[in-house]
Amino acid sequence: MRNYENELEKRIEFIRGAIKSAGASGAVFGISGGKDSSLVGILCKKACGNTLGVIMPCSSKRNYESDKTDAELVAEKYGIETRIVDLSQTKNKLVLAIDGKKNKLKNSSLVNIAPRLRMTTLYAIAANENLLVAGTGNRSETYMGYFTKWGDGACDFNPIQDLTVSEIYEFLRFLGAPDGIIEKAPSAGLFEGQTDEKEMGVSYKSIDDFILTGKVKEKDGEIIERYHASSEHKRRMPLSF
């Protein structure tokens, strides 16, 4: 287990350095009430008083209920300023503009619209208020490619990129995060009933074990290797001629 007292100090220094070097006045991030955004918000707030968490519901019923409630709970406990930007109508209008009434967009296309609208929102606020966008992706999700390219994968700095999901939970416990945040099933809230592990077909524990030790059940290993290989393009900059 990591020494999270030292980890906290190092990450606070990292965040302050990123903000200072960019000449920014603070940080903005998408706060969803999930484990990753909660940890990023807590770290950013400890590093910089000018930290803004943006709650961005986008069609999913969960976004308006448990996600919003949990986000507000974390924000209240750690003194994080929040703002709500409802993107549901924006998404609906964009889908209609692209698709008309022909329903040609596949589900894989539809679910990636929300993360990209959220990214657009965060960068608009950041540019308007001289803030840096903090990323909320962890090591496990990055290895699997379980993020939206130019959506939640886009940021100016990421203070948790090197942490596995297991370490995210350990860090949150060290920081005294609400039990509900730690115990809820990880979900991007992309559609009703969606959970990360159900969608990927493998548990985060297996992903973490694979990354750290390489020892998992054969079936889990096959799934993890397939996800990693097919998502390689997400982890590199665009190819140039």
Map out the domains of the chain as residue ranges. Answer: 4-185
Q: What are phi and psi of 54, to 5 degrees?
A: -105, 120
| Cβ atoms within 10 Å, residue 210 | 22
Residue 147 to residues 46, 57, 196, 216, 240, Cα–Cα distance (Å): 26, 17, 10, 23, 23
Binning pLDDT at 50, 70 and 90, where does residue 22 land? very high
Phi-psi region of 210 (alpha: psi -120 to 50; beta: other; left: phi over 0): alpha
Per-residue DSSP letter, 2: -
Output helix, strand, coil percentages for the chain, rounded to the nearest 5. Answer: 55, 10, 35
Which tens digit of pLDDT belongs to each residue from 163-192? Answer: 999 999 999 999 999 998 998 877 666 656
Q: What percent of the chain has pLDDT over 70?
A: 96
Asked whether the predicted pLDDT for residue 138 surpasses 90, the reply is yes
At 185 the pLDDT is 76
Q: What are the b/e assignments for 24-54, b being 16+ CB within 10 Å?
A: bebbbbbbbbbbbbbbbbbbbbbbbebbbbb
Q: What token pair was written down for 63?
A: 């976004």
Task: Check residue 59 and give its pLDDT.
Answer: 79
In this prediction, residue 191 carries a pLDDT of 59
pLDDT per position as a tens digit, 65-117: 788 999 999 999 999 999 999 999 999 999 999 987 767 788 888 889 999 99
How far out from the chain centre does Cα 199 lie?
A: 16
Class of domain 4-185: alpha beta
Instruction: Identify the band that residue 52 occupies on the pLDDT scale cut at 50, 70 and 90.
Output: very high
Nearest to 51 by CA among 104, 129, 123: 129
Helix, strand or coil, per DSSP, at residue 147: coil
CB 159 within 8 A of CB 42: no
For residues 59 and 14, what is the distance between their CA atoms, to the nearest angstrom? 35
Instruction: List residues bridging with 51 in a β-sheet.
Output: 27
What does the block give as tokens for 158? 């990421």
The residues, any chain, with a CB within 8 Å of residue 54's CB and separated by 6 or more, are 28, 29, 30, 31, 82, 83, 84, 85, 118, 121, 122, 125
Output the average pLDDT for the chain. Answer: 93
Q: Helix crossing, 113-129 with 88-99: angle to 10°? A: 120
Measured over all CA atoms, what is the biggest interatomic distance in the chain, rounded to whole angstroms? 55
146 pLDDT above the threshold of 70: yes
> Is 62 a residue whose pLDDT tops 80?
no
